[in-house]
Amino acid sequence: MNFDPRFSGRKFASVGTRPIRPDGVDKVTGRARYGADFNMAGQLVGRVLRSPHAHAKIRKIDISKAEKLAGVKAVITAKDLPDLTDGDAAMYDILDNCMARTKALYDGHAVAAVAAIDARTARQALKLIEVDYEILPHVTDVDEAMQHHAPLINDTIFTEGLEEKPVKPSNVTKRSQFGHGDVHQGFGHADFIVERSFKTEQTHQGYIEPHACVASVSSDGTADLWVCTQGHFVYRQHCAQLLGMEASKLRVTSSEIGGGFGGKTHVWAEPVALALSRKAGRPVKLVMTRDEVFRASGPTSATSIDVKIGARKDGTITAAEATLRYSAGPYAGSWAEIGAMTAFACYKLDNVKTVGYEVLVNRPKTAAYRAPSAPMAAFAVESAVDELAKELGMDPVDFRIKNAAQEGTRSSYGPVYGPIGIGPTLEAVKNHPHMKAPLKKNQGRGMACGFWFNFGGQTCTDLNIGMDGSVSLAVGTVDVGGSRASLSLVAAEELGIAYEHVKAIVADTSSLGYNDMTDGSRGTFSSSMATISAARNAIRILRERAAQMWDISVDDVVWEQGHAVAKGEKHGNLGRLSLKEIAAESGKTGGPIAGHSELVADGAGVSFATHICDIEVDPETGSTRVIRYTVVQDAGKAVHPTYVEGQYQGGAAQGIGWALNEEYIYGKDGRLQNAGFLDYRIPVCSDLPMIDTQILEIPNPNHPYGVRGVGETSIVPPLAAIANAVSNAAGVRMTHIPMSPPRILAAIEAERGG
């Protein structure tokens, strides 16, 4: 029963192959059911009324006219979601974000909701709800929000992490600090020092599927929720807590998910849909519009970062320091803290110090976005590292290789590294043909490194063997990009059977034990660990059954390539029993054969990547074109290499959009001006070249197959790699993301003028 998760260095038969994914046919034929593709009998349409103001006191909400409209079955406000959070501040923030209680804190904040017989009636009803607002001064910029005269968003917040307890409330919720050594002394030993300030604008995960759910609360107090989410068990826990239900009474089924990237880790519409259903006594379908997704789900932080790095003439970094300010929306978060932890994680540093500040602003509550907080910190640090290499007259790759963290290095955020991939990705980049490809006029090349922690977490998996010998694998980590394929490969590998005989599904919350959500690149890492454990438990039973069928001791039965084999000369003529043969007899040998696993997947190996890109800049217009792009990343072990490549390419493309185009634009009135895909422009097919990938495999010692998470790291280097390329092409250091044509043109003109 004791599961040994250590890397064993086995030779693989299934893992590492590239079969077609089990959910593929449904997805190319339109049969796959996403959040909005599910309906229930008697279902109503839910819609949400949102604040048009960035910051306003809610004096009164009059729902009487809306309630009287024919076809309206329920109207709710915060009164219908009473505070049951019992002093849990984080849950209270979630509740307040789902439905504003006393103040609207951002343009788009929900203030009321209706359920009606159709969308037209629901829309009409929203217009009949009268909200009396007292408009308050607002602040949307992270630096402005830190000023003493800035409008205060929450007067109960006093900055945590200061040496002296502050006497006045502040928009800064927390100060955090990481590092070791003495940076002051370190800078004293430097021959060259680069010091720069950087800004990045707020971006959205931009998943193509808007948030959608169908909620059905029965009069007996039980409920069902169908929802697109990265974590249905977490949604169940949050919804049950907010609605005062026992978790076991709420069954949450995760639909196919049309992209999440961290943005579907938080409840917004789901408690509202449940409250509407409870009041109306009928199922309610609630689907966000794209405008609502931008205004009222969770984008990433906007940031303002100062970096200082010093090095000796020989290229050794002597000290590194950064101050990082991250916007959190109107509720406390840990975004700057994560940025401060990741900023210098790629390097071996004797003296390093990072300080993070979480800052409240009148924008939507910040949510995770793929390696949350790391890309902005990497942009600032890797830009400064590039500039320092230039001052030293060193090749930027060689400079990084000289200072790269290694096994045994104490990381800038504390832990000592095991075997890691930063050095190997840099060596691979140094030797990559991309580095020798010729550049034309106005083209520049940039490269940058990135780090992400990766996460493991609570995981529960069931592996059931049918009487025909086929295998059903039920996992609880939502499949965001092909994990049912990779987990089927792992089950096939461990059992020694063909991939085709395994069918993986994502089970609902009533069918499986608790699972943390699919975040931290944990889907394949943690559920493969649980799948291996479950398969080993099933193999133990298969061996017992074979022993029973042969009437020998189970100690004499081993499992080899999908068969029970009797070992020892005394059993020489027993032959082998296949999994299928043992399963066929299961009814006579003790009943169904299954393997279960409940574990905390510790030891998610840290992940590193290095990217190279070539950018052409039009000096007349400031417009850019991506000419070449290459991703080199450590996967530990690529279970399904094609989908690993896909993660590398997808993260790079999102990073390209972030670096060059995407940003939330707020007007002076504090309202979001570009809440749609026309004005918030994510990369389209014609914007990008092919994205080359190179998978390195430095086994994670804490996983039986050496697997590391691969989903997030690929978005960490692009902002910096592209900024370095644009800076090289334009001949001026770019310090503000996104590098939209006006910003590039302004930088070029300032350089010419200066």
Partner 1 sequence: MAGIAVSTTINGDTIEYLCQPDETLLDVLRDRLGLTGAKEGCGTGDCGACSIILDNRLVCSCLVLGAEAEGRRIETVEGMAHGDQLHTLQQKFLEHAALQCGICTPGFLIAAKDLLAKNPDPTEEEIRFGLAGNLCRCTGYDKIVRAVQDAAIVMKGA
| Contact pick of 99, 653, 721, 726 for partner 1 (by CB under 8 A) | 653
Residues from 631 through 650 that contact partner 1 (CB under 8 A) = 642-643, 645-647, 649-650
Which run of H or of E encompasses 749? helix 741-753
The residue assigned the tokens 């049969």 is 31
Phi-psi region of 463 (alpha: psi -120 to 50; beta: other; left: phi over 0): beta
Interface with partner 1 includes 70 (CB under 8 A)? no
Interface with partner 1 includes 625 (CB under 8 A)? no
The residue assigned the tokens 């000796």 is 312
Residues from 207 through 226 that contact partner 1 (CB under 8 A) = 207-210
Interface with partner 1 includes 1 (CB under 8 A)? no
* Shortest Å, Cβ 522 to partner 1: 16
| Contact pick of 258, 299, 372, 446 for partner 1 (by CB under 8 A) | 258
Site string for partner 1, 479-498 (x = CB under 8 A): -xxx----------------
Q: What is the DSSP string of 236-303?
A: HHHHHHHHT--GGGEEEEE-B-S--TTTTSS-SSHHHHHHHHHHHTS-EEEE--HHHHHHHS-----E
Cα–Cα distances in angstroms (integers) from residue 626 to residues 484, 533, 606, 647, 721, in the given order: 33, 44, 29, 19, 11
* Shortest Å, Cβ 715 to partner 1: 11
Q: Classify 593 as helix, strand or coil.
A: strand
Task: Give the interface segment with partner 1, choosing from 97-105, 232-240, 258-266, 339-347 (CB under 8 A).
Answer: 258-266
Q: Report which residue type is found at 210.
A: P
Task: Give the interface segment with partner 1, choosing from 4-12, 65-73, 256-264, 322-330 (CB under 8 A).
Answer: 256-264
| Contact pick of 18, 180, 410, 580 for partner 1 (by CB under 8 A) | 18
| Contact pick of 1, 2, 11, 28 for partner 1 (by CB under 8 A) | 28
Interface with partner 1 includes 259 (CB under 8 A)? yes
**Residues 640 and 499 sit within 8 Å (Cβ to Cβ):** no
- Pick 206 or 333: Cβ nearer partner 1: 206
* Shortest Å, Cβ 498 to partner 1: 18
| Contact pick of 13, 32, 69, 84 for partner 1 (by CB under 8 A) | 32
Residues 6+ apart with CB under 8 A from 127: none
Residues 6+ apart with CB under 8 A from 140: 54, 361, 362, 363, 666, 670
Count of residues engaged in binding partner 1, rule: CB under 8 A: 57
Burial class (CB within 10 angstroms; exposed 0-12, middle 13-18, buried 19+) of 171: buried
Q: Taking the CB of residue 299, how many other CB atoms lie within 10 A of it?
A: 28
**Residues 292 and 108 sit within 8 Å (Cβ to Cβ):** yes
Q: What is the DSSP string of 611-661?
A: EEEEEEE-TTT--EEEEEEEEEEE-SS-SSHHHHHHHHHHHHHHHHHHHHT
| Distance in angstroms (rounded) separating the CA atoms of residues 744 and 387 | 18
Q: Taking the CB of residue 581, how many other CB atoms lie within 10 A of it?
A: 15
Interface with partner 1 includes 688 (CB under 8 A)? yes
Site string for partner 1, 307-346 (x = CB under 8 A): ----------------------------------------
Cα–Cα distances in angstroms (integers) from residue 45 to residues 123, 294, 558, in the given order: 10, 21, 57
Interface with partner 1 includes 663 (CB under 8 A)? no
β-pair partners for 577: 564
Interface with partner 1 includes 704 (CB under 8 A)? no
Site string for partner 1, 353-392 (x = CB under 8 A): ----------------------------------------
Interface with partner 1 includes 580 (CB under 8 A)? no
- Pick 173 or 202: Cβ nearer partner 1: 202
Cα–Cα distances in angstroms (integers) from residue 74 to residues 82, 95, 125, 454, in the given order: 16, 19, 10, 43
- Pick 1 or 28: Cβ nearer partner 1: 28
Interface with partner 1 includes 41 (CB under 8 A)? no
* Shortest Å, Cβ 64 to partner 1: 25
* Shortest Å, Cβ 424 to partner 1: 23
* Shortest Å, Cβ 255 to partner 1: 11
Residues 6+ apart with CB under 8 A from 716: 342, 371, 374, 375, 378, 450, 451, 452, 609, 651, 655
What sign for the dihedral angle of Cα 713, 719, 724, 726? positive
Q: What is the largest CA-CA distance in the chain?
A: 91
- Pick 310 or 683: Cβ nearer partner 1: 683
Task: Give the interface segment with partner 1, choosing from 1-9, 30-38, 376-384, 576-584 (CB under 8 A).
Answer: 30-38
* Shortest Å, Cβ 641 to partner 1: 10
Burial class (CB within 10 angstroms; exposed 0-12, middle 13-18, buried 19+) of 325: buried
- Pick 191 or 687: Cβ nearer partner 1: 687
In 3D space, the residue among 676, 710, 707, 669 whose CA is nearest the CA of residue 693 turns out to be 710
| Contact pick of 14, 124, 200, 205 for partner 1 (by CB under 8 A) | 205
Parallel, antiparallel, or unpaired: how do β-strands 557-560 and 563-566 relate?
antiparallel
Task: Give the interface segment with partner 1, choosing from 70-78, 437-445, 682-690, 719-727 (CB under 8 A).
Answer: 682-690
| Contact pick of 6, 8, 20, 188 for partner 1 (by CB under 8 A) | 20
| Contact pick of 13, 33, 67, 394 for partner 1 (by CB under 8 A) | 33
Task: Give the interface segment with partner 1, choosing from 259-267, 556-564, 658-666, 737-745 (CB under 8 A).
Answer: 259-267
Interface with partner 1 includes 306 (CB under 8 A)? no
Interface with partner 1 includes 179 (CB under 8 A)? no
Interface with partner 1 includes 120 (CB under 8 A)? yes
Give residues in contact with partner 1 (CB under 8 A): 18, 20-21, 23-25, 27-34, 36-37, 120, 205-210, 256-261, 287, 289-290, 480-482, 642-643, 645-647, 649-650, 652-654, 676-678, 682-688, 690-691
